[in-house]
Amino acid sequence: MNTLLWGALPYVAFALLVTGLVWRHRYDTFGWTTRSSEIYESRLLSLASPVFHYGILFVLAGHLLGLFVPASWTDAIGVDEHVYHLFSLIGGTLAGLLAITGIALLVYRRRTNAPVLLATTRNDKFMYVLLVGEIAMGMYAKVTNSSFSSGYDYRTTIAPWARSLFTLDPRTDLMTGAPLTYRIHAVLGMILIAVVPYTRLVHMFSAPVQYLFRPYIVYRSRGPLTEQPRPRGWERLDA
Amino acid sequence: MRVLAQVAMVMNLDKCIGCHTCSVTCKQTWTNRSGMEYAWFNNVETRPGQGYPRRWQDQEKWRGGWRLNRRGRLTLRAGSRVARLANIFANPVLPGIKDYYEPWTYDYRNLVNAPLGEDYPVAEPRSLLTGKPMKIEWSANWDDDLGGSVEHGDADPLVVRARAQGEQAAEKVRAAFEQTFMFYLPRICEHCLNPSCVASCPSGAIYKREEDGIVLVDQDHCRGWRQCVTGCPYKKIYFNHRTGKAEKCTFCYPRIEVGLPTVCSETCVGRLRYLGVVLYDADAVTAAASVPEDRDLYEAQLGVFLDPEDPEVRRAAERDGVAHDWIEAARRSPVHALVSRYRVALPLHPEYRTMPMVWYIPPLSPVVEALTETGFDGEDAGNLFGAIDTLRIPVEYLAGLFTAGDPAPVRASLEKLAAMRAHMRAVNLGEAESGSPSEAADAVGMTGRGIEEMYRLLAVAKYEERYVIPTAAMGEARRLEESALPAECSLDHDGGPGMGGEGIGTGGPGPFGEDSGRRRLPLVSLENFHALRRRQTGDDEAQR
């Protein structure tokens, strides 16, 4: 079980993520979008969506910092465990609160606004349950295992395990000591990573950073007027 | 100088009878699909009026188009690139569905299924967004023919602006309302030279075609960020709320490519639309769009257009890869004639700085009518010139639409149209000789021959004169014709009915929502291009 969860599942999730992205790009570039519902309802969305997205971006940054920056590095710049813990507790909880407030509002909006609800697929509902569960579990794990004076130091167990995944030598034994809530959070997280390409979450991989660097006006040539293989959505209707 | 060709349109508003045929045929061709029920790539608005979507001209609110920043450089009115990306999670100025209208259908089943009763059964309206019964309160042309103008006529942003200009203009607009003056304004995408929708697209999915200047959305690369809807000041980009993608007027590019006019032009009852090639200098566009004064933008845009009669221009065009038949088409272009040679056509809202390419000849007819009613000779040049300033619809209002508020070009255009009437009457009554100068022609600085050529173009021009469209590639015409015919049995394709697939039009959500997955979309149907062309342009009945 240990090996399955902490030795195999991470790689399965990663493989599903990568193959899923490639598959979706080839099979369904047309559907690669979040199908915005802003046109139905914008008042609540204009508040909730930025709150959630900025919150979740802070959360992501926090996870990258916590998992992939070893304690020895932060020690080297004079940040000891207690200072780091306070920073992680307060910063992380604030970011988590932003994200959870945002997504709560978003789900409320989705549930109460008739056109928005009608445009919600089963796939979306599954994704929302998983996402909300994951965020809530993370908050719960953090808050129940911490106080201002001390807290569970995941940088001696979970973080080294996460880094060991990249050297293809997973130290599964490290995870056995972690609190159950953290372990559930980690498993849900891996499932979430695995389903990203198969849900609307895929939109995170089309963050349009290139917009900052391209010329304003885009010209494109019509190209040769020959019969080309038709991408999905452009199949011939036939006479 | 970099010469590019653009297929452009001119609409003669004098002839528009507001029948909406263009809108309906366009809808049947392009937007009769789920998710696009509310979208009209072509719509006809009554002026004065709010338009569609409501009050789209109010850029203080919708923040479309360009403005000049403090350093005098062009920037999107909606904000810098960084500001737009920061707002990507919720676009703060996106028109909601209610700003267009909530699409609906009727519960027709009730007409036959209703139980026997005292009352005649009715088909109740049902919202296409929720499926629930709804009250119809607005649509794409709710204020058609000034309907409801007493209630919300003041909502027209141009009326507000004209009133703000001073007492005299204010008095005129009020008078115009009491005398119920109106005209129609058909609108499609402007296919601008400096398109702000293209500049707004974070994904880079909207592009302007090098060959013909048509602005298109790459559906496979659009990620549904909705910034283009805000960026377009004409609000001519629509968000497909089922597929989550932006869609817009395509200038019927599959028809244009084979030399056929757009559907709206083809079906126009008043024959008021003209299509033709305009050559322009792509390197001069940004400078022209950046002139400090809004009122200079009309002249600046005229300065970007190149004269295809100039051998220098023709050489440069050949050098830059414009096909020979396109250059020849530019010389015969009715659009070039109306815009640059006669200068009777004007751009719509040049102050948005997008350099629009669908131009309008302002309406004059009501002046003639009004004059005749008062007992004057409605076609006498002197009377007409005097009357232009006392139009029931003030020149100021037209100037607000077409020249950023400068009345001079509008007046000049109307005077030419008036002079044309007077001159042609003189010719027809034998008072003047055809081709010779007349008082009316002199007054507007045109020769008799010039004015008669303009008359021919505006009054009698046939199909081939109104639509001068070079085909995409003559050499490839045959191949195109073949590609329009199925090479194999039309049912045998992957997933088609012949292979046990679902076939066309069997909707239903895919794995990632509506229309996702490998599913066939009913997008565009074309009859054999050349067969269609023969049928529509052939003289001989037997050929049809």
Residues in chain A where the model's pLDDT stays below 70: 224-239
Q: To probe the interface with B, which of A36, A98, A127 has the most B CB atoms within 10 Å?
A: A36
Give yes or no for B503 touching A (CB within 8 A): no
Place of tokens 């088409």: B329
**Cβ–Cβ below 8 Å for B490 and A239:** yes
Among chain B residues, the shortest Cα distance to A227 is held by B483
Give yes or no for B207 touching A (CB within 8 A): yes
CA atoms within 13 A on the CB side of B308: 27
Q: Are A181 and A145 in contact (CB under 8 A)?
A: yes
**Cβ–Cβ below 8 Å for A217 and B195:** yes
Q: CA-to-CA distance for B400 and B57, rounded, in angstroms?
A: 10
| CB < 8 Å to A206, chain B | 203, 223
pLDDT score at B238: 97
Q: Which residues of A are annotated as a binding site?
A: 53, 63, 185, 203
pLDDT score at B177: 53
Among chain B residues, the shortest Cα distance to A54 is held by B89
Taking only the tens place, the pLDDT of each residue in B81-107 is 999 999 999 999 999 999 999 999 999
| CB < 8 Å to A219, chain B | 207-210
Q: CA-to-CA distance for B95 and B319, rounded, in angstroms?
A: 44
Alpha-carbon B203 to chain mean position: 25
| Res B231 pLDDT > 60 | yes
pLDDT score at B118: 92
Q: What percent of chain B clears pLDDT 70, i.e. is strictly above it?
A: 80
Q: To probe the interface with B, which of A21, A195, A216, A226 has the most B CB atoms within 10 Å?
A: A216
Q: Give me the residues paired with residue B238 across strands.
A: B247
Closest partner residue to B91 (CB to CB) among A38, A114, A203 is A38
| CB < 8 Å to B523, chain A | 233-234, 237
pLDDT score at B527: 55
Residue B437 is given by DSSP the state: -
pLDDT score at B437: 87
| Res B544 pLDDT > 60 | no
**Cβ–Cβ below 8 Å for A233 and B222:** no
CA atoms within 13 A on the CB side of B167: 0
In B208-267, the residues whose Cβ lies within 8 Å of chain A are 208-212, 219-226, 239, 241-245, 257
CATH of domain A2-206: 1.20.950.20
**Cβ–Cβ below 8 Å for A121 and B212:** no
Alpha-carbon B44 to chain mean position: 9
| Res B261 pLDDT > 70 | yes
For chain B, what is the mean pLDDT?
86
**Cβ–Cβ below 8 Å for A210 and B224:** no
The three-class DSSP label of residue B509 is: strand
Closest partner residue to B208 (CB to CB) among A38, A119, A217 is A217
- Mean pLDDT for B267-279 is 97
| Res B525 pLDDT > 50 | no
pLDDT score at B43: 97
**Cβ–Cβ below 8 Å for A54 and B493:** no
Burial class (CB in 10 A: 0-12, 13-18, 19+), A93: middle
Taking only the tens place, the pLDDT of each residue in B2-35 is 999 999 999 999 999 999 999 999 999 999 999 9
| CA dist A38 → A120, B193, B200, B201 (Å) | 13, 29, 18, 17
| CA dist A148 → A44, A70, A96, A181, B523 (Å) | 35, 22, 17, 19, 61
Domain boundaries, chain B: 488-498+506-543
Residue A149 is given by DSSP the state: S
Q: Are B437 and B448 in contact (CB under 8 A)?
A: yes
> Could you tell me which of B514, B487, B451 has the C-alpha nearest to residue B244?
B514
Q: Tokens for B384?
A: 């007409």
| CB < 8 Å to A210, chain B | 204
Chain A, chain B: beta-carbon pairs less than 8 Å apart: 198
pLDDT score at B291: 97
Kindly give the residue spans of alpha helices, DSSP state H, lying in A43-157: 43-68, 71-76, 81-112, 114-118, 122-144
pLDDT score at B285: 97
Taking only the tens place, the pLDDT of each residue in A116-146 is 999 999 999 999 999 999 999 999 999 999 8
**Cβ–Cβ below 8 Å for A239 and B201:** no
Taking only the tens place, the pLDDT of each residue in B439-472 is 888 889 999 999 999 999 999 999 999 999 998 7
CA atoms within 13 A on the CB side of A78: 0
Taking only the tens place, the pLDDT of each residue in B122-176 is 999 999 999 999 999 999 989 898 887 666 767 788 877 777 766 666 555 554 4
pLDDT score at B171: 58
Give yes or no for B480 touching A (CB within 8 A): yes
Q: Which residues of A are annotated as a binding site for heme b?
A: 53, 63, 185, 203
Q: Are B127 and B102 in contact (CB under 8 A)?
A: yes
The three-class DSSP label of residue B306 is: strand
- Mean pLDDT for B290-298 is 97
Residues B217, B221, B222, B225, CA torsion sign: negative
Q: How many of the other CB atoms lie within 10 Å of CB of B82?
A: 10
Place B504 in a pLDDT band, splitting at 50, 70 and 90.
very low
pLDDT score at B109: 93
**Cβ–Cβ below 8 Å for B220 and A29:** yes
Among chain A residues, the shortest Cα distance to B503 is held by A237
